[in-house]
Chain A
Amino acid sequence: MAEESILSDELVRHLISVGEVDLLVGVPTYNDARTVGHVVQVVRAGLLKYFPRERAAILNADGGSQDETPGLVQAASISDARNPAALRSLRTLHSISTRYFGNPSRATALHTIIAAADLLQAKACAVIAPESSNIEPEWIDRLLRPVCRQDIDFVTPLYRRHKFEGMLVTNLLYPMTRAIYGWRIREPYPAEFAFSGRFGSHLVGHEMWREEACRAGAEICFTIAAMAGSFRLHQSFLGPKGHLEQSSPDLVPAMRQTVGTLFWSLDQYFTTWSASTETKGVPTLGAEYEFMMESVRVNRERLYQMFRTGVAELEPVLASILSRATLDELKHSAALDEQQFQYGDELWVKTIYEFAASYQRSVINRDHIIQALVPLYRGRTCTFLLQNREASEPEVEQHIENLCLTFERLKPYLLELWQGRKGGS
């Protein structure tokens, strides 16, 4: 029923004419003309090279791009210019481009791809971000092979990143999802991922599509649904993450899409995470982590000033979210000068857990709670930058691991807050 409502009649007709497939690769797009042609060509090369015997299709779900995106996808789908003569599929490789209903939304695009995979009865489906400028054909193999060959349900990527890139992931999303749901998934908000037909069927009719908080960060919702639903998980190392050339996403929307969705999920999966007491590793193909260590210029002073201003100006808002003790500690930290400033692991974890509990109780508007976290996150990144300025690769990893362990150690504190035994505000 779910796919009937999300797929247009024209797309359904098109999918029926394609028939059943083994593999589907979805590319959700909206005004991605700069990179999408290359991405589709590489996806095609990857399918031809690594899965020549499988019935495969590429589905582009577009949100009504004003640039040439759909045309470029079509052109790339029929172009063999980049493919060596040896790359010939034994079957037809179908390429479909569709304009989904409604306003441009990544959640709707993903829903369309998942519903199409379900209708085509694909055994495995991969989703590739259209802005992944340095995608390699091997990515397709590394994402789809575990699903096809090892009966894995959900594959998340691992990237080679600069040690200061993705600090929201390393300082909050990874440690918190790991502590809460008990699975060590390094990229809980994956730009690229793959899933089995079984997990796709689970997702397609899921109530998450009706929840605004979940639609905002559909990718992290998938990861959480996989962790909470006892699906088989896997990680694959893909190489350098190639989104650096793009402008960085604004922090507030990024927090809404990830932290907002993560906080929202805590209520939905309370019975699952409250019973989970230990963390489990996830089978990994390739390196578990790799950091690029070259120096980058970061204006730490600006981050510190924004943290100080945030704590001072938002004090009445923070007082309604945080406990008195945590707020006092924050104010004390904000009073220190930049060289002495330290937003330590324990204070950071307590801050996050109190924010999560206040979000659950809706002490103020939930979106305001997420926005109030932004200056505090800036303070934490300032400390992380200082802590890892001269750190080697293993040292950076050790600092992240220590933070994860603090999140795990303080999980009972979150449970107490959740059950109202400690007043967050």
Chain B
Amino acid sequence: MRDMIVSELSQATHEVVQEFAHLLPRLLVMLIIVCAGWLVAYLVKAMLRSALRLLKFDRLSEDAGAAQLLNKAALPSSTELLSRLVFWVVLLGFVLLGINALGVIALGEDISRFFLFLPRLFVAVLILFFGMFASSFFSRAALLAAVNANLRSPRMLSYSARVVIVLLAVSMAFEELGIAENTILAAFSIVFGALMLGLAIAFGMGGRDLARQFLDRRFAEERVPAKKEDELSPL
């Protein structure tokens, strides 16, 4: 009995030692991959940060209105944030590669799914950024045009333009990520449709005269424009 226990124990110990001996080089490989990954991620971060500074990315992000959002959320500048994001994505990629090198079969599928997800994540971030940029640009353009045309509620027009574009960008980003595609699409359609219907009704109810004047100006026969009393030539 005693011999059997000793034999079983020694066999188990032998197997553990063998397993460990088998795992040790893989563990070392993983460590090397992670260390190399850290180095690569650090270099990529430094290079990206320099490139973004050279391209004045912070200015672009200010134009897009993203800088103000980050500021309000007490986050670092866009350049710093993007560099750090890329650092962690690269490092995480190497860590997963290292784990893959351990040969744990169950993790392999998840790791490959993560790598397939990366480009979509990148595209979604890009869509969001350009969405923010476009919303800032067009809302400011709407504000300026409304003020210079002496329209009422210019800020509301500007805000509406911003909301519509941000909604569009967010729904596109979610669709790209494959998160709640149908819900987001339906929500966007409802909000956008309601907004347009509301504007159409508001214009129909309150802007009949304006519409008539516009169509008159656009399609009526050429006529000598009436001179407004304060229409002095600026040039």
Q: Which residues of A contact B (CB under 8 A)?
A: 162, 164-169, 189, 243-244, 247-249, 251-252, 254-255, 258, 296-300, 302-303, 306, 309-310, 313-314, 317, 362, 364-365, 368, 371-372, 374-375, 377
Contact of B143 with A374 in the complex, beta carbons under 8 Å = no
- Also in contact, A365 and B234, with CB within 8 A (given A247-B225, A297-B229, A372-B144): no
Closest to B149 in A: A252
Closest 4 CB pairs of A and B: A168-B234, A299-B230, A247-B225, A371-B144
Closest to A170 in B: B234
CA distance A371 to B234 in the complex (A): 15
CA distance A165 to B227 in the complex (A): 14
Contact of B155 with A365 in the complex, beta carbons under 8 Å = no
- Also in contact, A243 and B233, with CB within 8 A (given A365-B140, A368-B141, A372-B144): yes
Q: Which single member of B137, B148, B235 contacts A374 (CB below 8 Å)?
A: B148
B131 within 8 A of A: no
Contact of A166 with B233 in the complex, beta carbons under 8 Å = yes
B98 within 8 A of A: no
- Expressed in whole angstroms, the minimum distance between the Cβ of A357 and any Cβ of chain B is 15
Chain B residues 125-177 with CB under 8 Å of chain A are 137, 140-141, 143-148, 150, 154-155
- Also in contact, A298 and B229, with CB within 8 A (given A313-B143, A368-B141): yes
Closest to B228 in A: A299
Q: Which residues of B sit under 8 angstroms from A296, Cβ to Cβ? A: 232
Contact of B229 with A364 in the complex, beta carbons under 8 Å = no
B231 within 8 A of A: yes
Q: Which residues of A sit under 8 angstroms from B137, Cβ to Cβ? A: 365
- Expressed in whole angstroms, the minimum distance between the Cβ of B57 and any Cβ of chain A is 14
- Also in contact, A248 and B148, with CB within 8 A (given A365-B63, A368-B140): no
The count of residues in chain B whose C-beta lies closer than 8 Å to any C-beta of chain A is: 24
Pick 6 A–B contacts, CB within 8 A, sort by A: A162-B232, A164-B232, A248-B227, A248-B233, A249-B233, A254-B235
CA distance A121 to B83 in the complex (A): 60
Chain B residues 110-126 with CB under 8 Å of chain A are none
**Given A247-B225, A297-B230, A365-B137, 15 further pairs, Cβ under 8 A:** A162-B232, A165-B233, A166-B233, A168-B234, A243-B233, A249-B234, A249-B235, A251-B148, A300-B230, A303-B230, A310-B148, A314-B147, A317-B143, A365-B63, A371-B144
Q: Which residues of A sit under 8 angstroms from B143, Cβ to Cβ? A: 313-314, 317
Contact of A314 with B144 in the complex, beta carbons under 8 Å = yes
CA distance A244 to B234 in the complex (A): 11
CA distance A300 to B230 in the complex (A): 8
Contact of B148 with A168 in the complex, beta carbons under 8 Å = no
- Also in contact, A364 and B63, with CB within 8 A (given A375-B147, A375-B148): yes
CA distance A252 to B228 in the complex (A): 17
Closest to A302 in B: B230
Q: Which residues of B sit under 8 angstroms from A255, Cβ to Cβ? A: 234
- Expressed in whole angstroms, the minimum distance between the Cβ of B141 and any Cβ of chain A is 7
Contact of B234 with A167 in the complex, beta carbons under 8 Å = yes
CA distance A252 to B149 in the complex (A): 10
- Also in contact, A248 and B63, with CB within 8 A (given A317-B140, A371-B144, A374-B148): no
CA distance A365 to B134 in the complex (A): 12
Chain B residues 37-69 with CB under 8 Å of chain A are 59, 63
- Also in contact, A166 and B235, with CB within 8 A (given A299-B229, A313-B154): yes
CA distance A313 to B148 in the complex (A): 11
Contact of A298 with B232 in the complex, beta carbons under 8 Å = yes
CA distance A304 to B190 in the complex (A): 41
- Expressed in whole angstroms, the minimum distance between the Cβ of A328 and any Cβ of chain B is 20
Contact of A298 with B230 in the complex, beta carbons under 8 Å = yes
Contact of B150 with A309 in the complex, beta carbons under 8 Å = yes
Closest to A241 in B: B233
Contact of B233 with A371 in the complex, beta carbons under 8 Å = no
- Also in contact, A368 and B235, with CB within 8 A (given A299-B229, A313-B154, A313-B155): no
